[in-house]
Copies of this chain bind each other. A is one copy, B any other.
Amino acid sequence: MDDRPECIDEHLLFGGRQCRFRHRSASTGGLMTYSLFVPPADRHAAPPHVVFWLSGLTCSDENFSQKSGAQRLAAELNLLLVMPDTSPRGEGVPDDAAYDLGQGAGFYVNATREPWAGHFRMFDYVADELPALVRRQFAVSSRQSIMGHSMGGHGALMLALRFPGRFSSVSAFAPIVNPAQVPWGRKAFSEYLGDDEQAWLEYDSCHLLAGDEARRLPMLIDQGDGDQFLATQLQPAKLAEAARRNSWPLTLRIQPGYDHSYFFIASFIEDHLRFHAEHLNG
């Protein structure tokens, strides 16, 4: 099986390259698409650090690519951005009519329950397969950070807490911090992982952050107080309280009037990229 990524789209952008790749994934047993921004090599002496972006429900690899404006700063700060899809897709991949389950809603877990178990292994894909693939494709530094939005904010926080040694920093916009306790997460986890809620906890950031084994890393969260999902699905105060109890370096910023959209992300992505660059270069 040839897993070499095929370039399916490429554009010059802020002097760097915005690319889309498709490849056959061992983790998900099918074709996966991801986007990449490669900063301009001629402006920087050192190889770029890698920053992963994980998107939210219904998104593909293109939402952040097109709407965040992140590449302007990534070009300046010499960051290579990696933007995976939110699930496997296509024929032969199970799906559900709801927007919050199946294709576009992988939740960054390894599903253990049918019909999802074969393909929905986004945890392995994002934690291991994709980072290794990018390192084979591009000459990058050994350091990386991770960030995401909503379901992808859950993914970023959860992966950073599972593997703190792998990431210099983590940040999130309006993340699902306690998926084991909110409707989006409980629905997805019961479908993907089954009814044993104990098995859910290894994917729950509030649980992971509270645990002894959690290792500290710099963490930034932005949350709009005009976000329609704040009270029911997001509840970042739960994570902030767990961080406070454990003397964690979590910065939670409540942004007055901002909602759940990419307009919110665009407004603050510069702060996140500067935060990651500071810790990647520190």
Contact = CB atoms under 8 A, between A and B. Distances in A.
Interface centre among A11, A259, A261, A266 (most CB of B within 10 A): A11
A248 interface: no
A152 to B, nearest CB: 18
A246 to B, nearest CB: 32
Interface string A167-187: 000000000000000000000
Name the prevailing secondary structure of the A interface residues.
mixed
Contact of A69 (B15, B72, B257, B264): B72
Interface string A56-71: 0000000000110101
6 nearest A-B pairs in the assembled complex, by CB-CB distance: A69-B69, A11-B263, A13-B263, A12-B257, A12-B258, A14-B267
Contacts of A14: 266-267
B69 A263 contact: no
Contact of A12 (B67, B71, B262, B264): B264
A282 B64 CA distance: 37
A226 interface: yes
- Identical chains in the assembly: 2
B263 A12 contact: yes
Given A72-B266, A266-B72, A259 B66 contact: no
A43 to B, nearest CB: 14
A66 B66 contact: yes
Contacts of A145: none
A266 B13 contact: yes
Contacts of A258: 12
A259 B258 CA distance: 33
Nearest to A257: B12
Interface centre among A13, A257, A262 (most CB of B within 10 A): A13
